[in-house]
Amino acid sequence: PASPPPPPPPNFVVILADDLGLGDVGAFRELYPGGPADLPPSEEHAGYPGARLADPQLAHRYTPNIDQLAKAGVRFTRAYATAWCAPSRQMLLSGLWPNRRSAYDLAQPWFGKQLRAEGYVTGFYGKAHGARPNGKVVGEAEGEFDDGLFLETGMTDYYMRPTDVLRGRVKSRAFEQSFDGGEYITDVFTEHAVGFIRRHAPLGAAQPAPFALYLPYTAPHTPLHGKPADLRALFPTEYASRTDASI
């Protein structure tokens, strides 16, 4: 009898947070007794009665969706990033450990280019921060990704003006935290990513090719600019906790 046909290649969605600490995610806080989740639950901020600093019952309140994904999947406790954000991103893209071999090695194809060679449609929406030795912005070199919106800088204001995007690149406005108009950059990258998925995996239609999506956010990297509406919804009366959540 003939062998059954191989299953179709899976789609990939790689989401990367920027400078996110291990203790910032509820699914990991609970793995380490004696860590932040075990702090006394009734500590109060001076001047803000009832505003709690570290309540173990609230550990999953801050990252409920990530925690649900972790519960349904796998948590890696022996996978290490570098101490800085830029080499961590380059390490993920290249598969190279920067301490032993430069992650900017042009002879090493990055995963976007490798997946394209296997028939994948690839997209990159988010923080690039860094140029390769050939002068191209990370992710923008020929043959690496089919589509993208690249943020070139390491730190930027989280709100975008209508003029901030030019030819697929995001203009940096570092530390302009006083501006709360325009579009929130996390939402901008998310909307582009959702659009990419809908274009390449339309509901009710056959998917012409598998896709690989790389979504490296700027959050929660400084300048710690939380979205005011989200903070108010999460902490209606706990004013000091809004600041903590931004941090």
Domains of the chain: 12-21+85-246 (3.40.720.10)
> Of 156 and 112, which is predicted with more confidence?
112
| Three-class secondary structure of residue 13 per DSSP | strand
- Tokens linked to 140: 């923008």
More confident residue, 129 or 180: 129
Give residue 97's Cα distance to chain centre: 20
DSSP state of 148: E
Residue 73: exposure state from Cβ atoms within 10 A (0-12, 13-18, ≥19): exposed
Here the tokens at position 221 are 């990297």
pLDDT at site 46: 37
Range from 95-104, 209-218, 237-246 that averages highest in pLDDT: 209-218
DSSP-based three-state secondary structure for 145:
coil
pLDDT at 119: 93
pLDDT-derived band at 193 (thresholds 50, 70, 90) equals: very high
pLDDT higher than 80, residue 216: yes
CA distance 125 to 104: 20
For residues 38-45, average pLDDT: 39
Q: Are 126 and 149 in contact (CB under 8 A)?
A: yes
Integer Cα distance of 155 and 127 in angstroms: 9
d(CA 32, CA 244): 21
The position carrying tokens 């941090």 is 247
pLDDT digits (tens, 9 = 90+) for 55-68: 545 555 678 888 89
Give percent of the chain above pLDDT 70.
65
pLDDT in tens, 8-19: 899 999 999 998
Per residue in 181-190, is it b (16+ CB within 10 Å) or e — as a string?
ebebbbebbb
| pLDDT reading at 189 higher than 50 | yes
Q: What is the pLDDT of residue 244?
A: 63
